[in-house]
Amino acid sequence: MKKVSVLWMLVLFFLYSCCSPRGNESLPLLTPNFRGYVGSAPEFFLLNCFYENNILGEIFGNPDSAVVPNNMLIIGEGNRVSLVCPGLNTMDADFYVKVPYGDGVRFYFRASGKDFEISPKLIFEFTKQGSKVFENRRLLAAVDSVKLSNEKVSRIFIQNEGEVFHVIVGIDTVLQGRTKIPLSEYIYVEPINGKVIIEDVYFYDLLPSPRWN
């Protein structure tokens, strides 16, 4: 009897975890995902447990200020979170992001998993004043018309393939560019003077799947 009860609990957990708030939407790249959480320590977590591209996360800062409910990631002020799908660096990272209060959100991509502070990286800042992309400290693009609204959820794409990268918010391209900074599996996210809620995220492999003869 005890084994049957445990089995039913696991089945119910699986069904709940795979439930997607966006499952009724028709999206170009996504299947419903971002379900589930496990943690071996307060600063580590796992997203998309039941999907092929699991995302490993790590909290830098106060572990209590970054919360991982079942279907979202909430990052408090003064914290940074790294997200990585091991072995996947040619990808489209697809985020649903809301900033309920604060100035905006900052993404670091093509960033190293080690020596973050001193390693080269690309930086995307999405704020109430507009969008900016930097290569290290050098400004590559500033688009005043693509700006954050605290009341709305924004869909953000960060695409990486070879030397080419794209930063897209909704249907608006912030920058399509080239860089000598090598590909990386890691994307870091941090609030800018506020709080960031990632309601959904998926790392989509841009390389074609191998075909078996």
* Span between the terminal Cα atoms of the chain, in Å: 47
Q: What is the pTM of this model?
A: 0.80
CB 169 within 8 A of CB 156: yes
Closest CA relative to residue 109, chosen from 196, 168, 27, 30: 168
CB 59 within 8 A of CB 76: no
Burial 54-76 (b: 16+ CB within 10 A, else e): bbbbbbebebeebebeebbbbbb
Q: Which H/E stretch holds residue 189?
A: strand 186-192
Closest CA relative to residue 83, chosen from 54, 105, 61: 54
Beta-carbon count within 10 A of 133 CB:
22
pLDDT score at 91: 93
* 47 phi, psi to nearest 5 deg: -110, 160
Express each pLDDT in 12-41 by its tens digit. Answer: 344 333 333 333 333 333 334 444 444 444
User: Is residue 69 very low, low, confident or very high in pLDDT (cuts 50, 70, 90)?
Assistant: confident
Express each pLDDT in 121-166 by its tens digit. Answer: 999 999 999 999 999 999 999 999 999 999 999 999 999 999 999 9
